[in-house]
Amino acid sequence: MPIAMVIIGLLGIIGCVVWLIVTLFTHRRKRWPAIGIGIGIVLFIVGAVLLPKPSALEMGVSRWEKQDYEGAKDRLSQIDKNHEDYDSAQKLLERLPDTAFAYYVKQAEENLKVEEFKKAIRNCDEALRYQPDNPTVLKLKAQIQRAEEKALAAEQEVARKAAAEETMQVEQAAKETKRGRPLNEWVESGNWSFRVSKVRTVSSISDGLTRYTAGNGIFVIVTVDAFNNTKRPRRFYFSDNIALYDDAGNKYTFDSYEHVMVLDNLNGTDPDLTQITAQTYRSAQIPIWVLKGRGALHLKISGQRVKIDLALKV
């Protein structure tokens, strides 16, 4: 009966609310749906009050089924000796320690299998509340603690290796950054690509420049694929902010811009080194003429000759 009152009251409230909404749009009388809502509320409240409350035994069994053994123990212990459920409650209380102990031990073993060490130790502690000196549980807890320590050590080792790898990558990246332009590799720079390499055998052209040396100045000569191009050559600006490094990370520095040799060959003849005149460029950029979009620079930097191949991107 109380359940029926609750259901009828709830359905009545819903129906009368819908009825009241309809009357708002149809301009009909709103008295009856309002009365219906009131009656539904009364039925719902009375039915809820009259609903039977679960007994302490039922609540204890419910906690038991949810593996809340401490809660079940509290509920079952509240049953008075004169109550009709007292004997049933006592039987459950007698079974509860063994049941709870077996449950927590099983949970700890399952947690150990999936390496949930914190939960496993917590379940062992719960089991020891019912059998504090049980050797099986004490041994299991020690095993779990050793496994946890081993797993933690493995995680720390993995983290250490990862940190070492990251440090190595950072150092490598720093080294690559320090090297600047890699040797013997084409590097993109604006509309140009260039490649730097050490000149191990000094060419006759470079030898010819030695007569114009003055201190440790930079000496530049441009060689091109074809000297018979009569069109205006392309200009390439080689800026002083381009640092050159060898494979060992040794930096080549621009000693000076005081003496720069520029070969501008447009007549199709071989260069006459005796006719090359020294030009002084004190600005940050050195104009270099390159025919047909390709060429090579021979620089004397830090007392060493370096070759730079150039190519204009099409």
Instruction: Report whether pLDDT(258) > 80.
Output: no
Residue 312: DSSP 8-state: E
Q: What percent of the chain has pLDDT over 90?
A: 2
Q: At 58, is the pLDDT very low, low, confident or very high (cuts 50, 70, 90)?
A: confident
Query: Can you tell me the distance from the alpha carbon of 197 to that of 184, in angstroms, rounded to the nearest whole number?
Result: 5
pTM of this structure: 0.42
The domain containing residue 217 runs over which residues? 187-312
- Residue 227's alpha-carbon distances to 11, 123, 193, 287, 290, in angstroms, are 100, 88, 21, 19, 10
State yes or no: pLDDT of 288 exceeds 70. no
- Overall domain count for the chain: 1
**Is 270 inside a domain boundary?**
yes
Question: Rounded distance, CA 116 to CA 165, Å?
Answer: 28
Which contacts of 268-274 are long-range, i.e. CB under 8 A and separated by 24 or more positions?
268/227, 268/228, 268/229, 268/230, 269/227, 270/227, 271/205, 271/227, 273/205, 273/208, 273/209
Within a domain: residue 293?
yes
* 121 assigned to some structural domain: no
pLDDT band at 175 (very low <50, low <70, confident <90, very high): low
Residue 281 counted as domain residue: yes
Res. 259: pLDDT tops 60: no
Q: At what angle do helices 117-130 and 86-113 cross, to 10 degrees?
A: 150
pLDDT per residue as tens digits for the range 111-139:
988 888 889 999 999 888 888 888 988 99
Q: Kindly tell me if the per-residue pLDDT of 106 is higher than 80.
A: yes
- Specify if 163 maps to a domain: no
Residue 181 burial (C-beta neighbours within 10 Å; 0-12, 13-18, 19+): middle
In the chain, the amino acid numbered 273 is L
- Is the pLDDT at 7 greater than 70? The verdict is yes
Determine how β-strand 244-245 pairs with β-strand 251-252. Answer: antiparallel
Token pair recorded at residue 169: 């990558």
pLDDT value at residue 124:
92
Confidence at residue 15, expressed as pLDDT on a 0 to 100 scale = 86
Q: Give 153-169 pLDDT, tens digit per residue.
A: 988 999 999 888 888 87
Compute the residue count for the chain.
Answer: 314
In-domain check, residue 1: no
Residue 40: band (very low, low, confident or very high) from pLDDT cuts 50, 70, 90: confident
CA–CA–CA angle 30, 35, 37 (5° rounding): 100
What's residue 309's pLDDT? 54
In a domain, 226, yes or no: yes
145 in any annotated domain: no
